[in-house]
Structure 1
Amino acid sequence: MPNSPMLTPSVIAKEALMQLKNQLVFGKLAHRQYKKEFAKVGDTVTIRKPVKFQTTDGAVRQNQDVEEGSTSIKLDQRKHVSWNFSSQDLTLSIEEYSERYVAPAMLTLAQTVDVYGAALYRKVWNVVGTPGTTPSNYASLGAVAQRMTEMAVPRNERRAALTSEAFHKIAGTLTTLNMPKQAADAWASGEIGNIAGFNTHESVNIKSHTVGTKAGAPLVNGANQNTAYSASMKTGVQTLNMKGFTASSAGVLREGDVFTIAGVFAVNPVPGEAGAGKNVLPYLQQFVVRQAAVNSDGSGNAAVTISPAIIVSGPYQTVSAAPADSAAITVLGTANQVFPQNLAFHKNALALVTVPLEMPDGVNWKAQESAEGLSIRLVKDYDIGNDVEIVRADILFGWEAIYPDLAVRLAG
């Protein structure tokens, strides 16, 4: 029989890109349309946030200042996998070569990309569920859907990524339904279709969060710690002074910890009539710690970076009222408790950017493929010392929670 034709770099790169896309979970669900704004490692692109206005009463015009917030994505992750093979391997069919080399390599890269996406839970402040209790039924996702609707998250393009345990427990409640073949196939492949309005997926890369030590009894340290949107619209954060921690304690709070403040309620984020205030919701506003670790000083005080910013009026209002001095702070979860961070989000909440890398000179066997917001580069060289061919596959990417207000964590 004649030998199979040699595989070309373009053919292998196309296969690698397809395998990468198929293996992604978070990367497949996130927004991926910002690549045109990037060129090289270290690039940062600023994204404008929507402007909000309030309605006013009567025929007399009342002008409103335009305050345009922003967020940034940085292209800061360069990852690769590499493998050796013989020249004879290039005569394999693409199916055989993919099974032996490409698919395992792309699985590794996809898992790496997804890990960074799952870690964005640390910037999301809305949480439903009970830490330590695995979500196990439709009502679990229903509670997330309710919170999203109350937070004015668009109903279309909602996604959910769950731990294997939560995924299969929730899927198990659907076994009494008469599932068509397409739904059954999706379930078997780690996608159980639309549940409570979410395109629901299983992910092995869901992060677990470790709660801070919570040493002491934290309180707000000083009244009137609210801010204006103009002061936080570029960063989305502010500093909140706290007291009541055990003196000189390390790690009293950790990045990603969620807390509430007594008397500070959540509001519907959609602007209403000027002067009338927003609709106050029947639960306290949640905040998330946005610094790696919070240590208390010798008096038990700490200055904590938080999101969202505490804004008490105007179209960007986030809370019902500013916290009072000595208002009690309640941190979600038990001290040092570890629990999974299932994540539900609108497509525009999280953004993944991958861009083409520069192609090296002096190498003949090379290819780069880009499609659907993903890009991968393959290069082959020869190791004369060991008489083997070497291929490396590289990807350059960056992640950001560009609209964390469009996401909700589901505690597990």
Structure 2
Amino acid sequence: MANTLLTPQIIAQEALMVLESQLTMANLVHRDYSPEFVQVGDTITVRKPAKFVAKNFTGTTSSQDITEGSVPVVMDRFRDVTVKVTSKEMSLDIKDFSSQVVTPALSAIAQAVDIDLLAVGVAKAAKTATVSATPVINDIAGVGKALDMSKAPKQNRRLMLPADIQYKYNTLDNFAKVSYAGDSQALRDSEIGKVYTCETFSSENCPQSSAATPGTVTAYKVVGTVNTTQFTVSAGSPATGTIKTGDQLIVNGYLYTVTADLTLVSGAGTLSVDQNIPATIASPVDVKVISKAHALGFHRNGLALVTRQLELPMGASKAYIASANGLAVRVVMDYDTTTKTDTISFDIIYGIKELDTSLLVDFA
């Protein structure tokens, strides 16, 4: 029997399922979604989870309004994977096409979403906990303590560990794996167990330096131009310190990896990074220096992933948006007359917002 024609609708629905199964962090934070269409850079208002006070009952009740509060969120994260395809790939059935094209493309997008969430969480965390030089289980208890001090509810506490930190603790007592039925395959694969009030997971998307010997600079500011891969560094401390290839930095919620060693001169220099700067930074901003591995402890209501739908291109007959469970994926099939090749693009738009920084713990 002939294969079913691969339409944008079929591909988009498959892409949505793959994306949902590959996400880890996105399934652990507060989610906000509506089917309204937005464009890159739009600012929308989203509701924050409601808070109440349990009052003493002394004969009469004192009613409380449902004041959820709201925060503005910029929809500035536009992730795209565009793939050149041939008639041979388009003749595959959806199972084989998914294996060859859809799964690798949406896995890359899922990784980008999780990296963004962890970067914002670590950079905005108002609480800290320390990984000891000789790790002890009390280190992880420090994450639970920080959340206790913030009066975080016991339910929906999470701790996301990179391998470098996880392996320091996984042979210690009370760090045993327990079974967990998550909402996606990525969750099930990454779950470790519940440790000191926190459901604990592992992820290589956590901010972490890969330098054999990390740089010595502990603080600096940067400016940069949109669509370039270089920052201008100022106010570096120490003024003659180093930033090494593989070190990372978080700027305005985006995680960058350094691609060339830099030794500062009077606290300044030009820093090369691995990806384009999404918007011009005209005035110097502080960066979060990542010269070692960082884990993130958090309560679900500390961080939000806000998703909306992108508009279908005008006149594009071969395009479709699939949405479900707070996610939306757009698929557009096109023909490039310049290179005379067929392409399929997968893209999503989202924003990330810290809702309560006291519910975020930088564990490093």
TM-score, normalised with respect to structure 2 = 0.68
More moved, 7-16 vs 392-401: 7-16
1:48-59 matched pairs, under 5 angstroms: none
Alpha-carbon distance in 2 for matches of 1:31, 1:52: 18
Quote the residue 2:63 is aligned against: none
Asked if structure 2 preserves the Cα contact closer than 8 Å seen for 1:167 and 1:202, the reply is yes
Of all paired residues, the percent bearing the same amino acid is 29
Work out the CA distance in 1 between the residues paired with 2:235 and 2:113: 31
Equivalent position SS for 1:250? strand
Is the counterpart of residue 128 in structure 1 residue 121 in structure 2?
Answer: no
Moved more, 360-369 or 30-39: 30-39
Quick one: which of 205, 219, 226 aligns to 1:212? 219
The residue aligned with 1:371 is 324
- Report what 2:235 is aligned to: 250
1:149–1:381 Cα change, 3 Å: same
Distance 1:106 1:116 in 2: 15
Give the aligned residue type for 1:292.
V
User: CA separation in 2, counterparts of 1:123 and 1:193?
Assistant: 25
Counterpart Cα distance in 2 of 1:251 and 1:138: 35
**1:141 equivalent in structure 2:** 140
Amino acid in the other structure paired with 1:128: A
In 2, the alpha carbon distance for the partners of 1:128 and 1:71 equals 27
Are 2:82 and 2:343, in contact at CA under 8 Å, matched by a contact in 1?
yes
Unaligned stretches of 5+ residues in structure 2: 60-65, 210-216, 221-233, 239-248, 252-283
Change (3 A) 1:103 1:168: farther
Q: What is the rounded CA distance, in whole Å, between the counterparts of 2:174 and 2:67 in structure 1? A: 50
Aligned mate of 1:390, from 339, 343, 361:
343
Superimposed CA distance per residue, residues 219-254 of structure 1 (whole angstroms, 9 cap, x where no aligned partner) = xxxxxxxxxxxxxxxxxxxxxxxxxxxxxx924699
Give the AA of the match of 1:250. A
Is 1:349 the counterpart of 2:334 in the alignment? no
Q: Which residue number corresponds to residue 166 of structure 1?
A: 165
Q: Is the 8 A contact 1:186 1:193 kept in 2?
A: no
Give the 3-state SS of the residue equivalent to 2:116 in structure 1: helix
Correspondent of 1:293 among 270, 276, 286: 286
TM-score for the superposition, normalised by structure 1: 0.61
Cα pair distance change 1:177/1:390, threshold 3 Å: closer
Could you list the per-position Cα deviations for residues 95-125 of structure 1 after superposition, in whole angstroms to 9, with x for gaps in the alignment? 2111111111112111222222112122111
Letter of the structure 1 residue corresponding to residue 319 of structure 2: K
Q: Which runs of 5+ in 1 are unaligned?
A: 60-65, 214-248, 257-290, 295-332
Separation in structure 1 between the aligned mates of residue 181 and residue 54 of structure 2, nearest angstrom: 45
Q: Across the two proteins, how many residue pairs are aligned to each other?
A: 298
Q: Is the 8 A contact 1:193 1:199 kept in 2?
A: yes
- Secondary structure in 2 aligned to 1:362? coil
1:89 corresponds to which residue?
Answer: 89
Secondary structure, counterpart of 1:32 in structure 2:
strand
2-structure distance, mates of 1:409, 1:122: 8
- Secondary structure, counterpart of 1:140 in structure 2: helix
Residue aligning to 2:156: 157
Partner secondary structure for residue 148 of structure 1: helix
Task: Name the counterpart of 1:108.
Answer: 108
Alignment of 1:164-313 (within 5 A): 164-173=163-172, 189-208=189-208, 211-212=218-219, 250-251=235-236, 292-293=285-286
Asked if 1 retains the 8 angstrom alpha-carbon contact of 2:179 and 2:193, the reply is no
| Residues 72 and 402, structure 1, Cα contact 8 Å, conserved in 2 | no
User: 1:133 and 1:188 mapped to 2: Cα distance?
Assistant: 30
Are the aligned partners of 1:35 and 1:373 in contact in 2 as well (CA < 8 Å)? yes
Q: Distance in 2 between matches of 1:125 and 1:146?
A: 14
Query: 1:405 & 1:4 partners in 2: Cα distance?
Result: 54
Taking only aligned residues, the RMSD between alpha carbons, in angstroms, comes to 4.2
CA distance in 1, matches of 2:186, 2:76: 34
Name which of structure 1's ranges 22-31 and 394-403 shifts more when overlaid on structure 2: 22-31
Aligned pair 1:26/2:25, yes or no? Answer: yes
Is 1:9 the equivalent of 2:8?
Answer: yes
Structure showing greater radius of gyration is: 1
Is the Cα contact below 8 Å between 1:26 and 1:114 reproduced in 2? yes
* Structure 2 CA distance for partners of 1:389 and 1:37, relative to 1, 3 Å: closer
Match for residue 360 of structure 1? 313
Distance 1:15 1:101 in 2: 11
Q: 1:89 to 1:198 in 2, by over 3 A?
A: same
